[in-house]
Structure 1
Amino acid sequence: MSRRTDTHPDLARPEVGAPFFSTWRVGTPLRQKQTVEAIGVTWERRAWPSDGLLGYYVYTGQDGSTLLHHSQWRSEQAYEAFVRTHRQERVDEIDTAVPDIERVGLGRYRHYRSLRRPDDTRVPGCVVIVAIEFEGPDPARQRAWVDAVLEALAAEPNPHPGGISAHFHLGVDGTRVLNYAEWESAQAHADALAAPGDGVGSANEAWDRVQNWPGLKGSTVSRYEYALGLVPE
């Protein structure tokens, strides 16, 4: 069966061969809450669908409108089998409970590198998703850009104490990078962004190189709060 968990996912879990991220637009804070509950009820009343699914997690957007979904699969093949046999009945039940959900595609990624201290046991109060898009597929460019970001973070003279971890994922299409960053709170992340030199994006050569990388098309930053975790019993 499926059971709920309050434990945040391990984004660097080695068994995860296919980490996926997607966004739903539901419109209002009330509908965010209703949709999260509908997902929980729908999954709890059914058997866990596949040994290939290690965990499924849902987050409410600070914008009051969106939900972030993160699923950890052993392989893309396991996900495709789930789609063929189990997905639609779950979608139908959730849509009956909360009509007119807009599903904004599914991003397929592979974990590349993480930055975290093994002795840091803080529970994140905020998950920040930084989504990067490049002009055209180039896997080598994806990796080089992430390497440059980690070098810039390592060179920060006074890193903001509210940052907990950063987990970089490469889009399988070769054009995207997603950073799943854990912070103590949304305010800590906002403070870090508002104070260059105190944790994120200091005015130095390393960050200038990151922000002006050849082929960089655009980026978005979104803040979320952990709402629901589902794992097999």
Structure 2
Amino acid sequence: MSYVSADPVRVVLDDPRSAAVLVTTLATRGPDDTRRTAEQAVADALRGPWPEGLLSLTVYTSSDDDSVLTYAQWATEDQLPPPGGPAEAGTVSRAFRHYRAVRGTAVEEPAPVPESFPAAFFPTESEQAARAWLDGLLAGEERSEGEDRAYPGAIAAHLHIAVDGGQVLSFSEWVAEGPAVDHIEAVWAPVLKDFGGTGTLYRHHRTLLPGSTATSL
């Protein structure tokens, strides 16, 4: 059983107030475990006082029901939570900076509420190398696909570089899952294969903002 959120709130992924994003992925086993893990992430965030500097926390569930992704925007890098003890098996966290946003032109304005979120991670050697690779990738896409990026259903692609320079994250917003899957198969699958990346398709579960409470969910 898949879960589709009825919550219309979506985080602004290129919020200029956000200096860093903490992205965590948690491995899950099937629909029930994925749903429980996502709801536990929300409950954990609401259990204590809202942390100073935390602008938003969004929880996503994978379309294959094998992982949950949390995307936490922070006002400054200094306010990121310190590393805790050893991570649980299947849990990976990394801090990123939002680098570039690329808008699609085939959806109406204002853009509709996104429902599908492809995420792709790629290893990189340094921040400088990551910037050069992303800029080259986008330039190549413009030459082959066109500058307007009029992909049906594409709202935006948000490109991130890890604070430690060791990884790139592409996190995209799409109107629906069908067009996102078509684009992945046509454009992103070769990139993932050629550059050793990993990709997962996510759905929105819940976005929490300052002032969120359990009774408001």
- Give unmatched runs, 5+ long, in structure 2: 1-6, 212-217
Match of 1:186 among 171, 177, 183: 177
- Give a deviation string over 1:153-174, Cα, whole Å, max 9, x none: 3331474212110010011222
CA distance in 2: counterparts of 1:211 and 1:74, whole angstroms = 34
Point out the more displaced range, 220-229 or 30-39: 30-39
Question: In structure 2, what residue type is equivalent to 1:43?
Answer: A
Match of 1:31 among 25, 30, 33: 33
Match of 1:111 among 88, 93, 98: 98
SS in structure 2 at match of 1:174: coil
> How many positions carry a matched residue from both structures?
197
Following superposition, the deviation at residue 73 of structure 1 comes to 0.7
Following superposition, the deviation at residue 228 of structure 1 comes to 1.1
Following superposition, the deviation at residue 67 of structure 1 comes to 0.1
**Distance change in 2, residues 1:160/1:117 (3 Å):** closer
Following superposition, the deviation at residue 36 of structure 1 comes to 2.2
**Distance change in 2, residues 1:44/1:151 (3 Å):** same
Contact 1:27 1:65 in 2 (8 A): yes
- Give a deviation string over 1:35-59, Cα, whole Å, max 9, x none: 2223333433433122x10001110
Contact 1:120 1:164 in 2 (8 A): no
Percent identical = 27
CA distance in 2: counterparts of 1:177 and 1:72, whole angstroms = 17
Following superposition, the deviation at residue 201 of structure 1 comes to 5.9
- The residue number in structure 1 matching 2:204 is 226
CA distance in 2: counterparts of 1:117 and 1:163, whole angstroms = 5
**Distance change in 2, residues 1:151/1:37 (3 Å):** same
**Distance change in 2, residues 1:211/1:23 (3 Å):** closer
CA RMSD of aligned residues (A): 2.8
- Give a deviation string over 1:173-214, Cα, whole Å, max 9, x none: 2221101111122221222234x4xxx3699xxx8xx986xx
**Higher gyration radius (CA):** 1
Compute the TM-score of the two structures, normalised by the length of structure 1. Answer: 0.74
In the alignment, is residue 57 of structure 1 matched against residue 48 of structure 2?
A: no
CA distance in 1: counterparts of 2:42 and 2:24, whole angstroms = 17
- The residue number in structure 2 matching 1:95 is none
- Give unmatched runs, 5+ long, in structure 1: 89-100
CA distance in 2: counterparts of 1:219 and 1:120, whole angstroms = 32
Contact 1:32 1:67 in 2 (8 A): yes
